[in-house]
Amino acid sequence: MPRIISVGTGIPSFAISQQETMELTKQLFSDSIKDLDRLLHVFHNGDIVKRHFVKSIDWYKEDHSFSEKNTAFIREAETLAIEAIQQCMNAADLKFAYNEIDAIFMVTTTGIATPSLDARIMNQLPFSPHMKRVPIWGLGCAGGAAGLSRAYEYCLAYPGAKVLLVAVELCSLTFQKDDISKSNLIGASLFADGAAAVLITGDEVHRMNCSQPLPKIIATQSTLMPDSLNVMGWDIKDHGLYVVFSKSIPSIVEKWLEPNVQQFLTSNGIDKEDIAHFVAHPGGKKVIAAYEKALRLDPEKSKHSRTILNEYGNMSSVTVLFVLQKFLEEQINVGDYGLITALGPGFSSELLLLRWS
């Protein structure tokens, strides 16, 4: 089975406290949103201490066109993605050369680029000009897990392949300072910027010098909930991307996720009790709590998801890969099972079953 070798991250230089973002929101919306002080509890109750943005907090007080924000997205996303790739390649005990990478899966949902970001990255790093490029747009918070699944399938088809998954999201650049919707307010309290890269190899890649067990991807499952297009996503308007974020997401997780996970695990001959490591996208405090309730998880199994949410906020597709990095830094027993899970627009679920070996 394809193996996850290493994870690297790219972190923007502006670390912004939750208190600072709340004060900015209060300054921008105090005259336009009734009972704003009551609504600001989402900043206090989200279990987020700080987040990282690609711009200083004063930048978000000003008006910026869709064109200006997207130009900033392309420039900053390229920089962060390169940082994540370099860290990922340096962390790999295999010490692959860049020109040995066979394919790159490029995931994002927070900006638009043609040529896509992978082409721009290839002009900065010494990849082979024949590397396969697979840009993936629009999967939102599910994109990191979905990208891992697509890389897994590529390595099944080409067992000698060495593949990079790269996810980069600059959620802060989608902030709309004149949007008084509750979705925008929740987004302002939750979303952040970041990048991550993951190296995955096929079965026939044997150049191993690993000091500890690594996870193999055993199986994956993608699921779309019918008639749920309005649960999560973007409204695309003249001034850019406007967040759609339904308050029903935690209840959907509770009711829909458990049978979905159970069916996936049963089809692979294991039970929920066999899952030792829970690699969950931390969509928010309530979403993590809904995971625990739906799957009857000990909160200890969600500790890495909570830590990443606390320190980085929700970086959309990138976040679950930050959580995955935490697990790769641990000494995990050979034979242990893990489950990667993320939810995104559609409304959709991505699941990956791992086993350390």
Active-site positions read 141
The residue length of the chain stands at 357
Residue 125 DSSP class: S
Q: What's the Cα-to-Cα distance from 343 to each of 71, 142, 213, rounded to whole Å?
A: 28, 5, 27
CA angle, corner 342, sides to 337 and 346, nearest 5? Answer: 140
Number of other residues whose CB lies within 10 A of the CB of residue 26: 14
| Residue 215 parent element (H or E) | strand 215-224
Q: How far apart are CA 55 and CA 206, in angstroms?
A: 42
Strands 14-17, 50-53: pairing kind: antiparallel
Which of 318, 289, 326 shows the shortest CA–CA distance to 81? 318
Torsion of CA 50, 192, 242, 246, to 10 degrees: -70
Residue for token pair 């919306």: 29
Residue for token pair 């625990």: 292
Q: How far apart are CA 41 and CA 20, in angstroms?
A: 14
- The type of residue at 228 is S
Q: How far apart are CA 126 and CA 129, in angstroms?
A: 9
> What interhelical angle do 285-295 and 258-267 show, nearest 10?
50
